[in-house]
Structure 1
């Protein structure tokens, strides 16, 4: 490749050139003939002071740029460097825009021609990457990136990334490069010429398609490797004694340590399966529970020649089990392990639909980018699981079009049938001895028979089962979602499904009983009535807010049985009935049209066949909307909890109405526990004061029918962690006042100075988190700290955690999901602060309904429900601090109730025994200092 590329990175005082921000460091790496031939780096005197946050982020301080040249002094050199070159940067719009303004101010115009964004190029050529941040890519790819956020290091890594991406592109088949070149015209940066040059190079060669690839109907795919039948695997006896287990595991698993509790847990699970018993196991941090259940599960699956199902709550845990734990176990056992993750069919790509979308002239950026990602991904994926891809938000909408929803036309007429990923996944599952799924899929299977037949199941992260079951057996109806599907359907005036379907009906000379004008009127009428319905629901939420004190990001209103008897609700139900009637008319009209086309048995061209399958997918989604309207408004189950949720600042768009069963024990007993021979439930947080009774009650399980085991953590918590309670903070029982939050912010700032950051702060209220965050920021005493906050700082939970780990001095504010699943091992986290004991708000709909039911039974809602829930949540939060046997730190609880109330002891007795100290702030600071030193 003869083209010259100049890879540029800038460090600046901020993001806004127009507001006075300026460059403080620049680096340019020159690439020609696929080699780095030069690098020019310089500090630049910006003429203004460098903000503390930028100094902390980049390590560049005022003294380092004081003697550096002004930008105008290096502009001529840059102009010569960049002439006749392709400008390259990671997030090119920022660097290019900033540099262009500086060059123009220095008197140099039209310096830049083509520009390539390595973020955009990486998204195309590494579509499975969980992050496109430069520092995270360099970690994954093994680049030497010792000084992130300094221009010379960033530019060099970006140059290495560009060269690596070009090599990846060279490995792609010609048919893939051809399609990428066609689509690249609609990208934001000038990647098209690069793909065109690579295509010409590849066409000049005699291409030998890689052995693991094939081309079908013009699309390159990775060949599938078909599994061994698990029933053909020779049976092996379970290693009963500790010596036998050590013999199997120790010599083949790196770093394996024999732990008596882990071996006992293996035997408990093996016995549960052999004797067909349901079992509940709490396994503390460090027990090694994944291996403890996988080993007996594997031997039982082979012995009984039927799969063992493993269910987890998170996708991350599923991937960890398959790619880490099972891969480790494969090295230890003397027979092959057949394992797979099973998902619903809509997780898999439908290649017939995708092929058709490639024939459409699409100019929408996100959709073009997603098509390009999929073309590259298809040369690598063996599963066809769309979850492997890192979609943009627009890509997620495109996903609806190409996901698998079964077949409406005859399956054998699908030209992609022999390569169908969903059928391959089903086949693989039928030959597997370990099948991994999630709680939702597991529960959905109890009603719809989706998974392969199984009788033995291990439910990991079991503390989520009750909540997942309520959601799974409940329903929600979102205003924006219904409006989206109405919009997808469109009308005769809009080029959507409806117009395309009517054209097909006319061309086939078919005569449906419902005329197109009647359907069109129903679509418009349903749309209008839906707006009226949600306007009425919005009014209910607005009126209710005046008397409620919820401190969540969204407003909630439970629809009680008393409310259902008044005229306002009856008016809402009547409106919902009108929406439902129009919905059913539309559904029946669409279904009739599809059946007319199928019954005619006329051969369809690809575009028609793909459209019919896509229309069938649409109708399946459309039908679920009708079910929800009926179950929520027209004929709801009396025992269910019904509530509204929304943001008063964004009505009606933010409105969701939910309907969930209050008690799920009987449902689980009938649909799961009574149907399976052995169910093992396990988690690190199930017990309260050494008892599993609350967890069992929530799932409707009788203690005398269940085997119960609690394995405490093997870690020496008393030497690793200390719990501290400041006594000079106010006791906050209701809503926190501004004075209370000021004191909390003051304490946080003081503790941060002692711990040097490395601090995770857990809140129970988003409102309190937000107020505390801004108070700490505005105080200015922690200017050299990176202060990150859920819901305020940009990025997902995982992105916030990675950013937190990146800075030397960082503080992370979190609520809700940050109480569990956050894994920050080692010195990155040395201080955990729990601001308040995590009691659920009493007017939260599910809690409120449960309180009423408990009172009706003559019991105390606080001791029966509120306290146990809070203790389990507290245990989850506490568990964020110590993740490995070498971790060390302090837990500071700002809630004095932990010390001053009788129930505070329940919290303390439910966590590992550790030293507890209390006192005013100076005493606490001294204790922290001593402990961490």
Structure 2
């Protein structure tokens, strides 16, 4: 292939679909020979139709650029001559090639056929940890020139350079890895196996020693794990500010950050807990890490817990590495996650012996082969996997050992055991709230003993703990698990255990009859539950997803008793299967010496499955059989797909004592930190939720250093109707008309926060139907494909973009500078009053003559409001407009609770014309 011509093609079009009549507006071809670019060619193309505004916004190509350009029919012979005898290369071959062939066919030519290479697919294989496989992101990663993204000539040249960079990377990989990649790649969608076989031939011409940082074990190349050296401490007592000056180039003293550090240390010295509200811009990360380092140098271990795995990784990637470098390794850090975050190498090794043509599985196997030459952690969160890849990951992730750990051939290379051993030796352990909460339920805890605890994003602790200590069971998960037991499937857990038993000479029971009964009872019980749900739920116009609480009187009803009996029968069948699987596994463990490595891997996978099966049995017991006054139980489902969408949940009503005993022990001081803890300048709401008292905890509120009076305008449209005075449909019409006018004034760069996905979708669809914002790129959570991070990144790429968000978009979204100039909150973020947990808490408060609105609903809404407000100003230079569409912030008696909860800003009530005038002046 080295001497073979490669034609790298990029095409710009009027839209995404050949079948819907979209046409080409630009084509570029870059020719590569002998690993060098030898020719570049491009041409605008007259599409014989207008170029949509969205495409002009994306590409910069206007109607006047293409009206005088040749038709594709005129340039087709030249295009075909350049492609003749070449390998067709494109970034997303499934877009460019169909468009090219569509244009060729319209011009009277045959479709192009030949070898194809997709650089998206190749990037997924060779760059498995990058956050995005978009061309602009990949060229930035490789530091390649890409001056005009979304124009064909620039994109084609960038794709050519990317391809050559990927080939260079592949040639640095071990021969054993390339050979395994070549074997798997025959099932990919483009002809990457041809490329890999060529690269193998090149490598064999000049065999090289394996790089020193790699080793090959059982035919798989892996990166060697290096235990960090504990260096002798060269420093005396560490003082926070001098250390920060050394640590941070261009250090600027932040009084609030130093107060935070000293407050934590003082509280710890007094054997008390610290509760700190640290506003945006204080430098919270170092405010947590510096006390931990100081305590480490005194010989004490600290655990720092974050809300998400992403925040955990951010802390590790940035601040921690700098600290370790400055301290020359004298303080050891470790990151610890739950078992299932780590790869189980015996399972993965065995999966490579199985030929499975399913695309997502093949792609994921290949990504992992590359990743194993790079990772020291074996943490699957490093990988960028497809949805199908995540399902495969669940098969090969860690669940501990069922057979003797020493019999696992990969035991000395096990990543989970490695991470636990590093944690045991570390001075500072970084983990997450979910692991911290779930660890409390285990007899053998993952976290080693520690003396201090620091809780970042502490306002999430209650919800995460309630979820971890609660129950959630859904119909699809049950049906998926049952499917894994099917005796009629040659690859099910049950049939693989049968094969292992046969190999070991162990007799097993036949499962066909039991399986049919199990499946039938599952369907029957959930069918009854679905009928009850549809009969009793109170439907709301335009809303498909509903919740229905299991109130005490419902538990005594005849209908619910029938459901309980149905689930008892289902539970009996589940227990039969549990007992059968346990018996088979026990027999196989006793006869493990007769098992092959493949069968041992199958046994380990079955053991992991059995653990999940047992958890589901306990969930059904708690939801349908046992009765507890401490739990709120409810069903949730989408009326369009019952029972398929049904989920049953149970949560404890009051977990404050459990939180106190788990995380705020008298003998182990903890610091709880967040940008949003106080309500009306009081810590009481957080104290109540965590069981803390003012005698056991020192509280400190530290304001943001930003000058919000100069940086933010807060406006409320006075010409909007009261949200409760009109129907949801009318309200959506009102806000849509306002949004379109405001968007013109801000030129996009607008984040719109909704409290419900239904209202978000209805607003988005009305805007699309009305063409009120056809000049803007509309990006909507739950509608536009992609994760929160991907949607945020796309939003920042376009000049005229509008981002519609709900739920997770109210916090943790960091869009600095002019990328976000306008934040709109559609309504105040009160939780729905019929939410089962909230409703139960209200009833308890009323029964105790307390005010449930001021004690429960209002504080939750105020905290959410503050989190939403925090999206607008991320740095000292940011400026923006904050518009609240809910007039209750002015008219309701509780409105001041919201405005008083954010930095002091004037609240301006204006009509829409006045708001537009002010925005244009302000921005």
Cα distance, 1:476–1:550 mapped onto 2, change above 3 Å: farther
- SS of the residue corresponding to residue 733 of structure 1 reads coil
Deviations 1:597-641 (A, max 9, x none): 222353422112212112211211211111111121111432111
Corresponding residue number in structure 1 for 2:418: 424
- SS of the residue corresponding to residue 743 of structure 1 reads helix
1:292 aligns with 2:314: no
Alignment of 1:494-513 (within 5 A): 494-511=490-507
Q: Deviation of residue 493 (structure 1)?
A: 5.7
Corresponding residue number in structure 2 for 1:543: 535
Q: Deviation of residue 731 (structure 1)?
A: 0.6
1:444 aligns with 2:445: no
- What is the RMSD of the two structures over their aligned residues, measured on CA atoms? 1.7
CA contact under 8 A between 2:751 and 2:805: conserved in structure 1?
Answer: yes
CA contact under 8 A between 1:235 and 1:302: conserved in structure 2?
Answer: no
Cα distance, 1:767–1:598 mapped onto 2, change above 3 Å: closer
Deviations 1:269-305 (A, max 9, x none): 11222222111100000111110111011110231x2
1:840 aligns with 2:831: yes
Corresponding residue number in structure 2 for 1:19: 20
Give the whole-Å Cα distance in 2 for the aligned partners of 1:406 and 1:507.
24
1:711 aligns with 2:705: no
- SS of the residue corresponding to residue 481 of structure 1 reads helix
- SS of the residue corresponding to residue 212 of structure 2 reads coil
- SS of the residue corresponding to residue 375 of structure 2 reads coil
CA contact under 8 A between 1:45 and 1:70: conserved in structure 2?
Answer: yes
Give the whole-Å Cα distance in 1 for the aligned partners of 2:722 and 2:111.
64
CA contact under 8 A between 2:504 and 2:594: conserved in structure 1?
Answer: no
Alignment of 1:761-780 (within 5 A): 761-780=752-771
1:915 aligns with 2:906: yes
1:644 to 635, 651, 666: 635
Q: Deviation of residue 510 (structure 1)?
A: 2.4
Cα distance, 1:492–1:752 mapped onto 2, change above 3 Å: closer
Give the whole-Å Cα distance in 1 for the aligned partners of 2:541 and 2:502.
55
1:174 aligns with 2:169: no
CA contact under 8 A between 1:273 and 1:300: conserved in structure 2?
Answer: no
Q: Deviation of residue 738 (structure 1)?
A: 2.5
Q: Deviation of residue 110 (structure 1)?
A: 4.9
Q: TM-score, normalised by structure 2?
A: 0.97
User: Which consecutive residues of structure 1, in runs of 5 or more, have no partner in the other structure?
Assistant: 240-244
1:392 to 386, 391, 402: 386
Corresponding residue number in structure 1 for 2:470: 474
Deviations 1:147-186 (A, max 9, x none): 2211111111111111111111101111111111111111
1:264 to 253, 259, 271: 259
1:862 aligns with 2:886: no
Cα distance, 1:272–1:736 mapped onto 2, change above 3 Å: farther
2:623 to 632, 635, 639: 632
Corresponding residue number in structure 2 for 1:195: 196
Q: Deviation of residue 200 (structure 1)?
A: 0.6
CA contact under 8 A between 1:249 and 1:332: conserved in structure 2?
Answer: no
Deviations 1:249-282 (A, max 9, x none): 2244123211111111101111222222111100
Give the whole-Å Cα distance in 2 for the aligned partners of 1:460 and 1:236.
28
Q: Deviation of residue 679 (structure 1)?
A: 1.1
1:557 aligns with 2:548: yes
1:607 aligns with 2:602: no
Alignment of 1:456-535 (within 5 A): 456-492=452-488, 494-511=490-507, 515-516=509-510, 519-535=511-527
Corresponding residue number in structure 1 for 2:693: 702
Report the count of equivalent residues: 920
CA contact under 8 A between 1:875 and 1:911: conserved in structure 2?
Answer: yes
Corresponding residue number in structure 2 for 1:237: 237
Corresponding residue number in structure 2 for 1:125: 126
Alignment of 1:901-912 (within 5 A): 901-912=892-903
Corresponding residue number in structure 2 for 1:242: none
- SS of the residue corresponding to residue 270 of structure 1 reads helix
Give the whole-Å Cα distance in 2 for the aligned partners of 1:234 and 1:59.
58
Q: Deviation of residue 331 (structure 1)?
A: 4.7
CA contact under 8 A between 1:580 and 1:626: conserved in structure 2?
Answer: yes
CA contact under 8 A between 1:724 and 1:917: conserved in structure 2?
Answer: yes
CA contact under 8 A between 2:660 and 2:692: conserved in structure 1?
Answer: yes
CA contact under 8 A between 1:45 and 1:65: conserved in structure 2?
Answer: yes
Give the whole-Å Cα distance in 2 for the aligned partners of 1:641 and 1:182.
53
Q: Deviation of residue 405 (structure 1)?
A: 1.4
Give the whole-Å Cα distance in 1 for the aligned partners of 2:765 and 2:898.
30
Cα distance, 1:494–1:607 mapped onto 2, change above 3 Å: closer
Q: Deviation of residue 101 (structure 1)?
A: 1.7
Alignment of 1:97-496 (within 5 A): 97-229=98-230, 233=233, 236-239=236-239, 245-303=240-298, 305-333=299-327, 336-448=330-442, 449-492=445-488, 494-496=490-492
Corresponding residue number in structure 2 for 1:872: 863
Q: Deviation of residue 75 (structure 1)?
A: 0.6
Give the whole-Å Cα distance in 2 for the aligned partners of 1:120 and 1:676.
54
Alignment of 1:770-849 (within 5 A): 770-849=761-840
Q: TM-score, normalised by structure 1?
A: 0.96
- SS of the residue corresponding to residue 652 of structure 1 reads coil
CA contact under 8 A between 2:308 and 2:432: conserved in structure 1?
Answer: yes
- SS of the residue corresponding to residue 261 of structure 2 reads helix
Give the whole-Å Cα distance in 1 for the aligned partners of 2:671 and 2:30.
57
Give the whole-Å Cα distance in 1 for the aligned partners of 2:720 and 2:9.
51
Cα distance, 1:811–1:479 mapped onto 2, change above 3 Å: same
1:674 to 662, 665, 674: 665
Deviations 1:426-483 (A, max 9, x none): 1111111111111010011122112111121101011111110110110111111111
Give the whole-Å Cα distance in 1 for the aligned partners of 2:883 and 2:395.
50
Q: Deviation of residue 578 (structure 1)?
A: 1.1
Give the whole-Å Cα distance in 2 for the aligned partners of 1:104 and 1:307.
69
User: Which consecutive residues of structure 2, in runs of 5 or more, have no partner in the other structure?
Assistant: none
Give the whole-Å Cα distance in 1 for the aligned partners of 2:852 and 2:634.
20
Give the whole-Å Cα distance in 2 for the aligned partners of 1:750 and 1:491.
61
